[in-house]
């Protein structure tokens, strides 16, 4: 334990005084401006505590950027007059968190605000509040009555309001919207705002009121819905909005056969679905359920008629599922059309490599070997991604040497010190936040900037965070760059020192799991209670502590990375003893619990010896776990190469299958009461395991949790 503490403490998380010195150096490297890092630190700490007088005084002593940072926090907290908000958004329009700040500012608009200021406030931004909307319409009435009427109609059609706000709005602008009362109610119902829609029922005629009432009752899950629907005329029973509501009701009620039946009836046009994206999640679930049942025709018929907008994640998933089903069903040409759609409407390395790999598989099945080879070669250029590695393995492509950069390798990333990025105020605010000891605030500014920055500038920010020894911030930024198609291995697969810890496990496995669990942030806690570097649930951590002979200390799970790594490694080692080195079974067990790995082995075949590994992973019912297995598997060879400092073979199939190794079944263990009396059930396979593996006997202990836990959707059963 002592050696491990030294390893991680010195390598992964350097001393804070060393960090502070590095950060002060960074602040000095920025363009000259009158800022005091110590005063800024005081100002931000005081602002976080709501001590605005101290924060303002310290910011004044620091400089203009500190004043802007404190004012930004104060305005977001609702402190300030409308003029303060207007001046800030005009001076700092590109800062993060502006939606909340603008909402707060909109709430400060009073009747005495000049029309020109109101118009300036809403220039390029729609109102968020009814009072703000009315102020804008009133201001437009003075300058452009036609626009005022258009805005009044837009607001009435789209904006939720309380009954009081509705009354006030109609008192001022009722004549402009008199013909829109029905449209408003049904537009609100299409957004599932049934409580607000119900306020407008009295403005509808009898037939429209009956349909709206049926939709409200369906959304509110009230009794008597069937009778209300049957009482409607046939045309209203066929209303697309009502069909959407009935579909959601059936899904929520777990009436999945009826939900699928209704989906099939409505999937003839986008209009018949009303909002195709509302059907998308269940559509994907039902398509995957059919795939797991081996019904390729049903899976494609569910996935293909989705009518989703290209460029969305839902569109990409549906095109993949339709293509996969068509390919498994023997129609390579139709499959290729879907995979082409997938490739044409995605940009990330992960999605592009998936599209190209499956294009190659479809071309291969159609006998177009040359085209297939070309697709695999293109996919194989994306070796940071799961399907890129599978493509490279398939054609025997060499490993990209850029993936094997050794050490922390900040120098492998673009230099930020001499870049134009240094002149960007958002970047400067982020750096000074880091320098003042508020790294999460600094990262917020960096991530906001990454939404519009070029990939190279994102990599520059990642380099800076690596230099400051925040690998988790570098990784998050590198993911943003990868979404644009640019991979920077030094930040995307960072080395932290954990790879040299003596944990009695392959270091690439520990790194890959930790990368996916916490992005190497040892302080993080998930919403379900998973803690620290390897995201351990407290119960699991307590059990592992007993087995490795350590005192359990919950606080240390997020304060002491070596403590967390020791316990997480013990859990991980037990999974390997149970399932062997198969990355699919080990990663799935870590994410969803070892019982799931066993269950899916029984259901889909043993990935180690029987099932096709690529198909097996696609059959995993939980979206999160399927993605988790892919991300862990793709990280393994890259961490092998980075740790070794030289290219290593890409062997995703061997990793997924564990090279076909199946551990021998453990010998039964007999306890004294069992031997003497048989007063307990006979021992089950899995009882006689090493101390580190004993957590996996039935009933199972809770598995470590990722930041978002997989949920077994009803359709996945």
pLDDT tens-digit series, residues 547-558: 999 999 999 999
* Cβ-based neighbour number of residue 29 at 10 Å: 13
Per-residue pLDDT, 35? 84
Distances (CA, A) of 88 to 76, 136, 553: 11, 19, 46
Distances (CA, A) of 388 to 85, 268, 375: 48, 35, 10
Per-residue pLDDT, 698? 31
Distances (CA, A) of 182 to 78, 130, 200, 204, 275: 36, 19, 8, 6, 19
Per-residue pLDDT, 22? 52
Per-residue pLDDT, 2? 44
Q: Are 568 and 543 in contact (CB under 8 A)?
A: no
| pLDDT tens for each residue of 677-690 | 323 333 333 333 33
Evaluated on CA atoms 154, 155, 159, 160, the torsion sign reads negative
- pTM: predicted TM-score of the whole model, two decimal places: 0.89
- Give dist(CA 503, CA 315) in Å, integer: 42
Per-residue pLDDT, 34? 64
Residue 67 neighbours by CB under 8 Å, 6+ apart: 56, 59, 60
Q: Are 97 and 444 in contact (CB under 8 A)?
A: yes
Give the residue among 613, 593, 560 at the shortest CA–CA distance from 699. Answer: 593
Per-residue pLDDT, 668? 62
Beta partners for 531?
525, 536
> Three-class SS string for 356-380?
HHHHHHHHHHCCCHHHHHHHHHHHH
- For 500-696, the fitting CATH number among 1.10.10.10, 1.20.1090.10, 1.10.530.10, 2.40.50.140 is 1.10.530.10
Q: Which residues of the chain have pLDDT under 50?
A: 1-7, 9-11, 14-18, 21, 24-25, 28, 670-717
- Give dist(CA 672, CA 404) in Å, integer: 54
Per-residue pLDDT, 636? 98
In the block, tokens 């059963």 appear at: 717
* Cβ-based neighbour number of residue 119 at 10 Å: 16
- Give dist(CA 716, CA 485) in Å, integer: 32
State residue 577 phi and psi, 5-degree precision: -70, -30
Our measurement of the distance from residue 216's CA atom to the centroid of its chain's CA atoms, rounded to an integer in Å, reads: 32
Per-residue pLDDT, 17? 42
679, two tokens: 């007063």
DSSP 8-state symbol, 581: T
Give the residue among 28, 68, 73, 31 at the shortest CA–CA distance from 50. Answer: 73
Domain boundaries, the chain: 408-492, 500-696
Distances (CA, A) of 518 to 219, 471, 479, 558, 584: 37, 11, 14, 11, 19
């Amino acid at each position: 334990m002592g050696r491990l503490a030294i390893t991680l403490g010195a390598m992964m998380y350097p001393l804070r005084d060393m960090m502070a010195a590095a950060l002060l150096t960074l602040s000095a490297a920025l363009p000259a401006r009158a800022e005091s890092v110590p005063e800024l630190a005081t100002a931000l700490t005081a602002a976080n505590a709501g001590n605005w007088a101290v924060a303002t005084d310290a910011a004044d002593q620091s400089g203009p950027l500190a004043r802007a940072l404190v004012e930004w926090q104060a305005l977001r907290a609702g402190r300030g007059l409308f003029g303060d908000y207007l001046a800030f958004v005009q001076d700092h329009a590109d800062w993060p968190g502006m939606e909340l700040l603008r909402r707060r500012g909109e709430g400060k608009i009073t009747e005495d605000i000049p029309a020109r200021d109101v118009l300036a406030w809403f220039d390029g931004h729609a109102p968020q509040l009814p009072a703000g909307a009315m102020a804008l319409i009133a201001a437009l009435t003075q300058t452009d009555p036609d626009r005022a009427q258009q805005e009044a109609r837009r607001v009435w059609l789209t904006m939720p309001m309380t009954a009081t706000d509705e009354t006030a709005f109609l008192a001022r602008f009722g004549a402009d919207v008199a013909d829109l009362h029905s449209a408003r109610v049904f537009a609100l119902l299409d957004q599932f705002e049934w409580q607000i829609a119900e306020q407008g029922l009295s403005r509808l005629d009898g037939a429209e009121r009956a349909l709206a009432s049926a939709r409200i009752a369906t959304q509110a899950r009230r009794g008597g819905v069937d009778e209300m629907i049957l009482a409607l005329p046939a045309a209203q029973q066929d209303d697309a909005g009502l069909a959407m509501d009935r579909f959601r009701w059936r899904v929520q009620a777990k009436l999945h056969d009826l939900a699928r039946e209704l989906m099939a009836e409505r999937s003839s046009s986008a209009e018949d679905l009303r909002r195709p994206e509302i059907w998308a999640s269940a559509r994907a679930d039902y398509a995957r359920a059919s795939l797991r049942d081996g019904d390729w025709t049903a899976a494609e018929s569910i996935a293909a008629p989705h009518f989703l907008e290209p460029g969305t994640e839902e569109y990409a998933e549906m095109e993949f599922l339709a293509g996969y089903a068509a390919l498994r069903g023997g129609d390579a040409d139709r499959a290729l059309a879907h995979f082409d759609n997938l490739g044409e409407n995605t940009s990330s390395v992960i999605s592009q490599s998936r599209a190209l790999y499956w294009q190659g598989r479809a071309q291969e099945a159609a006998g177009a070997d040359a085209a297939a080879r070309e697709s695999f070669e293109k996919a194989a250029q994306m070796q940071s991604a799961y399907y890129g590695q599978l493509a490279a393995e398939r054609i025997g492509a060499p490993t990209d040497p850029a993936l094997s950069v050794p050490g922390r390798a900040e120098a492998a990333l673009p230099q930020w010190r001499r870049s134009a990025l240094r002149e960007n105020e958002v970047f400067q605010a982020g750096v000074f936040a880091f320098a003042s000891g508020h790294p999460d605030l600094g990262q917020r500014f960096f991530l906001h900037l990454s939404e519009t920055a070029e990939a190279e500038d994102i990599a520059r920010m990642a380099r800076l965070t690596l230099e400051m020894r925040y690998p988790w911030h570098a990784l998050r930024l590198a993911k943003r760059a990868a979404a644009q198609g640019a991979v920077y291995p030094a930040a995307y697969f960072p080395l932290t020192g954990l790879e040299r810890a003596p944990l009695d496990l392959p270091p690439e496995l520990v790194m890959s799991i930790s990368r996916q669990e916490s992005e190497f942030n040892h302080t993080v806690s998930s919403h379900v209670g998973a803690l620290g570097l390897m995201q351990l649930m407290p119960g699991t951590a307590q059990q592992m502590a007993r087995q490795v002979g350590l005192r359990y200390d919950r606080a240390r799970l997020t304060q002491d990375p070596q403590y967390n790594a020791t316990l997480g490694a013990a859990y991980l080692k037990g999974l390997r003893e149970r399932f062997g080195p198969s990355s699919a079974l080990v990663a799935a067990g870590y994410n969803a619990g070892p019982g799931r790995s066993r269950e899916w082995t029984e259901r889909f075949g043993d990935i180690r010896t029987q099932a096709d590994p690529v198909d097996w992973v696609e059959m995993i019912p939980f979206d999160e776990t399927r993605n988790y297995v892919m991300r862990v598997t793709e990280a393994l060879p890259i961490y092998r190469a980075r740790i070794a400092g030289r290219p290593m073979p890409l062997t995703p199939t061997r990793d997924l299958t564990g090279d076909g190794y199946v551990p021998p079944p453990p010998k039964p263990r007999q306890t004294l009461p069992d031997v003497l009396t048989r007063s307990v059930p006979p021992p089950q396979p899995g009882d006689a395991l090493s101390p580190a593996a004993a957590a996996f006997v039935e009933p199972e202990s809770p598995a470590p949790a990722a930041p978002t836990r997989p949920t077994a959707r009803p359709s996945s059963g």
